[in-house]
Amino acid sequence: MKSTMNTPSITAAPQAQEIRDVERTSCCIVGGGPAGAMLGLLFARRGISVTLLEMHKDFDREFRGDTIHPSTLEVLDQIGLAAPLHEMPHSKISGPTLQFRDGPFRPFDLGRLKTPFPYILMVPQSRFLEFITKEAAKYPGFHLVMRANVRKLVEENGLVRGVQYLGPDGWHELLASLTVGADGRFSQLRQLAGFEPVKTSPPMDVLWFRLPRLPQDPQVPSGFLGGIGRGRLLIVLDRGDYWQSGLVFPKGHYQELHAQGIAAVRQTIAEIEPRLTKHADSLTDWHQLSLLSVESSICTRWHKPGLLLIGDAAHVMSPVGGVGINYAIQDAVVAANILSARLKAGEVTDSDLAQVQRQRERPVRTIQRMQTFMQNNLIAKALAAKGAVRIPWILRALLRIPVVRDLPAKFIAFGPRRVRLHES
Ligand SMILES: Cc1cc2nc3c(=O)[nH]c(=O)nc-3n(C[C@H](O)[C@H](O)[C@H](O)COP(=O)(O)OP(=O)(O)OC[C@H]3O[C@@H](n4cnc5c(N)ncnc54)[C@H](O)[C@@H]3O)c2cc1C
């Protein structure tokens, strides 16, 4: 069993004499995930010198979502990158079709939205990050440093002036007018800055695994299968040559599940989605599954002088609705809109950073409230019911009303507010 719940280990900060070199840049971004990579690109194309520090040697990682939503595609389109992105191997999802006792249920359908991209584009996150950083590297001010593990903030009289990071050859210091923490759910910078995340949803557990693609597999135009049964929620995404799958269950039930044996996992999959019975036979060892604790949180403060947190570092998003990447990228777009001119002038103030938080905090809190509602009222209740589950008739009826039925899709695609890149 692989566990993805551990936070990175902390090594001691360096002694002054251990620092090999000191470099300077306008903006230092810590973390080459969707938020950091996108912000690096957006600053670089505005002519700002920016260094992106990523602790891994490449962008390959545990599955953390490969969904690129209409709002991100619209922003990429603004900078001429939507078409080249579509040239990469991809699949498209317009909305899930979930199996319930009283028939299939589509909670949302992006296909009806007024946008050039009425779908979620599925591109492996590693390929997407390579694509974005390759585009950023076309600008002379952009530098990407891999295997750069940031461990310390450089601070002077309460102002963050940069970071110290451990590379394969030792310690380095990078000084910057602005440091951005885009280092994800276990953010080191958040911890170093002393910001406390406040939990916004109770945790759930998810087992992630792959199921093989078989020649007789059904065509799934929505790109998404799943359903609820035996106190578990099954999510299955079409990834072209395999099915990315997740089994969601209430927190604390893993030991019980494990004790029942892997055959019980196979049986659960077969009961919820009988078309995947043969596929489930490929699961023979717990090593093929990863356990993940899913929860969400938000920091009350995302900034201090010289430092801004964005993406999961500022607000950990639960996978409910699959919007975390989108929200991380929207943070980057808003940060680029507000800060580019200020950075170029070398005048970023704490109130500029506060403005980024102000614009992003409400949409994030709104979607987190929605995720918590879905988790508590739909998922948790369905998981508590041991037998087959029906969708409440009122929900089915509501989603047949034209003005109501597209609201969930709009929310998933764009969030409460459409974010556009300001060209200046
Ligand atoms: C199992 C799972 C499934 C998910 N599925 C989806 C989905 O389908 N769709 C969706 O939109 N969202 C999904 N999410 C949420 C989504 O992954 C996150 O919301 C999103 O990745 C946040 O992007 P980010 O750039 O803020 O952080 P991250 O993607 O976490 O990137 C942070 C980066 O910082 C680097 N880093 C960390 N510490 C340091 C350090 N000290 N020094 C240097 N670098 C560092 C990390 O290596 C990483 O590359 C899922 C999350 C999980 C856990």
Q: pLDDT per position in the chain (424 positions), as tens?
A: 444 433 333 445 677 668 889 999 999 999 999 999 999 999 999 999 999 999 999 998 766 778 999 999 999 999 999 999 999 999 888 887 776 777 777 878 899 999 999 999 989 899 999 999 999 999 999 999 999 999 999 999 999 999 999 999 999 999 999 999 999 999 999 999 999 999 988 778 889 999 999 988 877 766 677 777 777 888 888 877 889 899 988 788 888 889 999 999 999 999 888 889 999 999 999 999 988 888 889 999 999 999 999 999 999 988 777 789 999 999 999 999 999 999 999 999 999 999 999 999 999 999 998 888 877 766 776 667 666 667 778 878 888 888 888 888 998 899 888 999 997 6
Q: Which residues pair with 235 in a beta bridge?
A: 226, 246
* Separation of CA 62 and ligand 1 centre (Å): 10
Phi, psi of 359 (to 5 degrees): -70, -30
* Separation of CA 293 and ligand 1 centre (Å): 14
Q: CB count, 10 Å around CB of 387?
A: 9
Identify which of 38, 58, 183 to mutate to test ligand 1's pocket (most ligand atoms within 8 A of the CB): 183
Helix, strand or coil, per DSSP, at residue 256: helix
Q: 170-181 and 307-309: which strand pairing? A: parallel
Q: 303-304 and 297-299: which strand pairing? A: unpaired
* Separation of CA 1 and ligand 1 centre (Å): 21
| Closest residue CA from atom 38 of ligand 1 | 183
- In sequence order, the 6+-apart residues with CB closer than 8 A to the CB of 361 are 298, 302
* Separation of CA 90 and ligand 1 centre (Å): 20
Directed axis angle between helix 70-78 and helix 324-344, to 10°?
30
**Ligand 1 binding residues, C-beta < 6 A:** 8, 30-36, 53-56, 63-65, 67, 148-150, 182-185, 188, 208, 292, 311-313, 317, 319, 322-326, 328
- Taking the CA of residue 8 as reference, the ligand 1 atom at the shortest distance is 38
* Separation of CA 37 and ligand 1 centre (Å): 11
Q: What is the pTM of this model?
A: 0.89
Q: Which residues of 190-220 are buried (b: 16+ CB within 10 A; e: fewer)?
A: bbbbebebeebbeebbbbbbbbeeeeeeeeb
- In sequence order, the 6+-apart residues with CB closer than 8 A to the CB of 204 are 248, 249, 250, 251, 293, 294, 295, 318, 375, 379, 380
Q: How far apart are CA 44 and CA 142, in angstroms?
A: 6
Rounded-to-10 torsion of CA 363, 367, 370, 371? -160
Which region holds residue 103: left if phi is over 0, alpha if psi is between -120 and 50, else beta? left
Q: Which residues pair with 145 in a beta bridge?
A: 53
- Taking the CA of residue 327 as reference, the ligand 1 atom at the shortest distance is 19
- Taking the CA of residue 31 as reference, the ligand 1 atom at the shortest distance is 34
